[in-house]
Amino acid sequence: MGTIRLLMRKIKNAITQFIEIFPLTFGSQFTTSEKLSLLRALIWCYFGVKLKIKKEVITLELIGMRISSYGYFNLLHQLKEIFLMGEYQISTTKKSPVIIDCGANIGLSILYFKRKYPNSKIIAFEPNPSVFNILRLNLEQNHIQGVELYNYCLSDSEGEIEFFVNENLGTMVGSVLEERGGNKKLKVKAVRLSSYITEEVDLVKMDIEGAEINVLDDLKRNGKLNSVNTYLIEFHHNIPGQLSGLGRFIQDLEENNFGVSLRSGFHNQGEFQDVFLRIFKNRDTD
């Protein structure tokens, strides 16, 4: 009886995930032809995931772009999060905003920014060598200009650092924390984000799998925290074996005159959570 219930739950979840693609797509800000292009790609990815199609690198054409990825799962997730849900949407009137992408992954966030702000200046960091190769490919095959790419890890100090990944390239998760990254250890170059902030920055997008506290400490210590107008940060909360630090992280931002909006799902007490933080400068209250 338990097996049947589990099977029915899986079927229900699969149907729900498939159905949600349609309102997400048709409720987005794209043209009708672009929505149909996105929908085809999402359905293709969905069935690629459910049928467990094994293919190391896939390439899809959608909304005038050519996008490559390790497997279907990560591509499906990022297309929904970045292009349909507008996770990285910001408010700026600048035609050439300065954007720093920390944890650029395969580059969908960069393609999103360049589509919205073609003249933007972008600095991007991705430490995983395998993922960095796909990132560079995606920018090259879409003829993206105005992006500085660095195959570096961000930390609060410079030098060589241990970086952990797992054997499944399709997950594309990597971290300076073994508990978050995986059991395969690499040596990568670490740099300080503060060294790359030489002017006013409109946006820092950060998804660096547990290193966000170290990077924030670096920015505070070197007086660069307030050089950024908006931060979009994926905070990795309740990583097994690690103290969270979420309270201190938010307190440091609020003490530096930033407002913080949070979003996160909640499952079971104490389980790992991705907490999305939208951080913005408060107006002066003089």
pLDDT of residue 5 exceeding 60, the answer is yes
Average pLDDT rounded to a whole number, residues 207-212: 83
Which residues are CB-neighbours of 26 under 8 A, at least 6 positions away? Answer: 35, 39
Residue 18 tokens read as 């498939």
**Sheet hosting strand 159-165, strand order edge to edge:** 153-155, 184-192, 159-165, 174-175
Statement: residue 220 has pLDDT above 90: yes
pLDDT digit string (tens) for 135-175? Answer: 999 999 999 999 999 999 999 889 998 878 877 765 667 77
Q: Dihedrals φ, ψ of 221, to 5°? A: -60, -30
Please, which residues have CB within 8 angstroms of residue 13's CB and are 6 or more apart in sequence?
none
What single string gives the DSSP state of each residue in 235-285? EEES-TTS---HHHHHHHHHHTTEEEEEE----STT--EEEEEEEEEPPP-
Angle at 218 between CA 216 and CA 223, to 5 degrees: 95
Predicted confidence (pLDDT) at residue 230 exceeds the cutoff of 90? yes
Give 93 or 259, the one with higher predicted confidence: 259
DSSP code of 88?
T
Global pTM? 0.90
Pair of tokens at residue 129: 């060598």
The model's confidence at residue 286, banded by pLDDT at 50, 70 and 90, is: very low
CATH architecture of 93-286: 3-Layer(aba) Sandwich (3.40)
122 and 99 Cβ atoms separated by less than 8 Å: yes
- The pLDDT tens digits of the residues spanning 72-116 come to 988 999 999 999 998 998 888 898 999 999 999 999 999 999 999
Q: Are 278 and 205 in contact (CB under 8 A)?
A: no
* CA distances in angstroms from 283 to 199, 227, 229, 263, listed in the order given: 20, 15, 11, 22
pLDDT computed for residue 171 by the predictor: 63
Q: What is the pLDDT of residue 78?
A: 92
The average confidence (pLDDT) of the chain is 88
Predicted pLDDT at 55:
77
Say whether pLDDT at 285 is over 50. Answer: no
Higher pLDDT, 220 or 239: 220
Q: Where are the domains of the chain?
A: 1-85, 93-286
pLDDT in tens, 166-190: 777 656 677 766 666 667 778 889 9
Q: Stretch 253-269: mean pLDDT, rounded?
A: 86
Query: Any idea of the CA torsion for 178, 182, 186, 189, to the nearest 10 degrees?
Result: -60
Q: How confident is the model at residue 280 (pLDDT cuts 50, 70, 90)?
A: very high
Q: Does pLDDT of 246 surpass 60?
A: yes
